[in-house]
Amino acid sequence: MRGRGPFWPRLAASADRRTEEARERHDKADAFRRAMMPHMDAAYNLARYLTRNPSAAEDIVQDAFLRAYRSFDTWRGEAAKSWLLTIVRNCFLNSVGGAADRMSGRPVHEIVGDLPDALIESSNPESLLADQNEAAMLRATIEQIPEPFRETLILRELEELSYKEIAAIAQVPIGTIMSRLARARQMLADLLLPHASRKARS
C-alpha cells in the first residue's frame, strides 16, 4: 500500500472540511428557525387572504419558506416578518403568473372604477349573516375586497404593520398605501356598517 501515504492526509482534510461545512449549514438552519419560524402564522394569514384557498395558501407558504431559506444569506437582520411576507407575496404573484399586474400595474382609480358592481354582485350579506357567525361573515366580506386593497388591509389590520413596512412589501410609495387603505376601509364600511346598524336597531 505505497499509495496510501500521499493520499491519506488529503482525505482527512476533505473530511474535516465537510464537517466544517455541515456545522455551518446547521448554524444557518438554527438562525433561520429562530428568526423566521415565529412568523409562520403571519405568512399563512397573508397567503390565506391572498389566495382565498387553504391548500393553495399552504403551498405558497411552504414555497416561501424554502425560498426564504435559500436566500437567508441576504437577510440583513431587518424586520424578519416584513422580509418573510415580501417573499410570501412574491410567491403568490408567481403562482398566479400573468395576473400579477392586477396587484401593482394598474393605477388605483382604474380598479376602483369597476369596483361597486363586483362587490354588489358577489355579496349577499343577508344570507351570510343568516347562517354564519359574525367572524366568518367578516372574513368572507374581506375576501371579497379586490386586490390590491385586500392585502393592504390585511397587512395593516391583521398583521399590524406600519405604512412604511407595507409600502416596502408591496413595493409602492407610502402615499399609495394610504389611499389603498382608505379605499379598503371604505369598501368594508359600505358592506358592513349599514347591516351592523340595522342589526343594532332591530
15 binds other proteins (CB under 8 A): yes
Task: Scan residues 98-117 and list those touching other proteins (CB under 8 A).
Answer: none
Rg, the chain, Cα only? 24
Residues contacting 76, CB < 8 A, separation 6+: none
Task: Scan residues 129-168 and list those touching other proteins (CB under 8 A).
Answer: 134-135, 138-139, 142, 156-158, 162-163
Residues contacting 180, CB < 8 A, separation 6+: 108, 148, 149, 152
185 binds other proteins (CB under 8 A): yes
- Between 60 and 103, name the residue whose CB sits nearer to other proteins: 60
6, 102, 170 from 69: Cα distances, Å: 40, 28, 21
Round to whole Å and give the CA distance between 43 and 16. 38
37 binds other proteins (CB under 8 A): yes
179 binds other proteins (CB under 8 A): yes
- CB-CB neighbours of 70 under 10 Å: 9
Residues contacting 50, CB < 8 A, separation 6+: 57, 60, 88, 89, 92, 147, 150, 151, 154
92 binds other proteins (CB under 8 A): no
195 binds other proteins (CB under 8 A): no
- Between 21 and 78, name the residue whose CB sits nearer to other proteins: 21
193 binds other proteins (CB under 8 A): yes
**151 close to 176: Cβ distance less than 8 angstroms:** no
Binding-residue pattern over the window 49 to 88 for other proteins, x denoting contact by CB under 8 A? x----x--xxx-xxx-xx--xx------------------
| Nearest distance from C-beta of residue 38 to other proteins, angstroms | 11
Note if the bond before 148 is cis, omega within 30 degrees. yes
What is the contact surface with other proteins in residues (CB under 8 A)? 1-4, 7-8, 11-12, 15-16, 18-19, 21-23, 25-26, 28-29, 32-33, 37, 40-41, 43-45, 48-49, 54, 57-59, 61-63, 65-66, 69-70, 134-135, 138-139, 142, 156-158, 162-163, 175, 178-179, 181-182, 185-186, 188-189, 192-193, 196
